[in-house]
């Protein structure tokens, strides 16, 4: 009787699935909130599945829904998505040495499922293997197990959130809208590298608040982010002339 988990490859997939269980469960409440809010902003539950299935990038999906209007501002949402997910560029660069042995096609498929959590777990595992086996390579079946668990959990529970959305009532009165800043604040905490590195974020917040108070529309996101990026650029010049 050869079940999948008897082969070495199958065991690696199972190891990945098992290691990601805590995170899969952790996804559930945010997935439900995201789905419910999306539907209240006018998306159809199927469109919620489409969005989370094609993007699989929680931070930018939360931001898109927070800014969603009917019809949506395509350019604004595209630009915000690009900026929020710009960290993926760094993550992909860090992962590159460990997927160099894969064909380009396979590497591009692997990268579709790279989120903060799968990246962190895959990189930690790959580094451990490099240390013990001297082989700098990602275990693709392990990564597949991690990714499958996280991806399915995210898409399934955002869809369920979308289906439950209409019966959840006024989410604002219940305080559910605070789920967005809460998720964002935890994401920002995860990127925390000290006060100095946080200066651009402070500038971004200040400029965004002023813009929000004095200029109608959604310009606060663009103006805040641009001010923050400019600050980071100027600060980098001072500390590292290269």
Residue 37 CB, nearest approach to another protein (Å) = 12
Q: Which of 4/236 has CB closer to another protein?
A: 236
Nearer to another protein, 132 or 214 (CB): 214
Name which of 1 and 196 has its Cβ closer to another protein. 196
Compute the residue count for the chain: 242
Shortest spacing between CB 25 and another protein, in angstroms: 9
CB of 143 to another protein, least distance (A): 14
Nearer of residues 3 and 239 to another protein, judged by Cβ? 239
Supply the minimum distance, in Å, between the C-beta of residue 226 and another protein: 8
Structure tokens at 54: 């094609």
């Amino acid at each position: 009787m050869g079940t999948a988990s008897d082969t070495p490859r199958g065991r690696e997939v199972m190891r990945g699935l098992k290691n990601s269980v805590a995170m899969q469960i952790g996804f559930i409440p945010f997935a439900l909130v995201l789905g419910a809010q999306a539907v209240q902003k006018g998306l159809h539950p199927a469109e919620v599945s489409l969005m989370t299935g094609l993007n699989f990038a929680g931070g930018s999906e939360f931001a898109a829904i927070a800014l969603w209007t009917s019809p949506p501002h395509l350019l604004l949402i595209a630009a915000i998505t690009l900026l929020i997910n710009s960290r993926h560029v760094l993550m992909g660069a860090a992962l590159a040495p460990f997927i160099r042995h894969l064909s380009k096609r396979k590497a591009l498929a692997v990268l579709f499922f790279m989120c903060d959590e799968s990246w962190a777990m895959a990189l930690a595992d790959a580094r451990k293997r490099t240390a013990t086996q001297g082989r700098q390579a990602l275990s693709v079946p392990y990564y597949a197990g991690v990714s499958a668990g996280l991806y399915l959990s995210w898409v399934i529970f955002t869809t369920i959130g979308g289906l439950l959305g209409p019966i959840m009532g006024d989410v604002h009165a219940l305080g559910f809208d605070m789920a967005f800043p809460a998720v964002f604040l935890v994401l920002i905490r995860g990127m925390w590298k000290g006060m100095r590195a946080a200066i651009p974020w402070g500038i971004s917040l200040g400029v965004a608040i002023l813009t929000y108070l004095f200029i109608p529309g959604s310009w606060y996101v663009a103006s805040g982010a641009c001010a923050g990026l400019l600050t980071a650029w100027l600060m980098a010049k001072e500390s590292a002339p290269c």
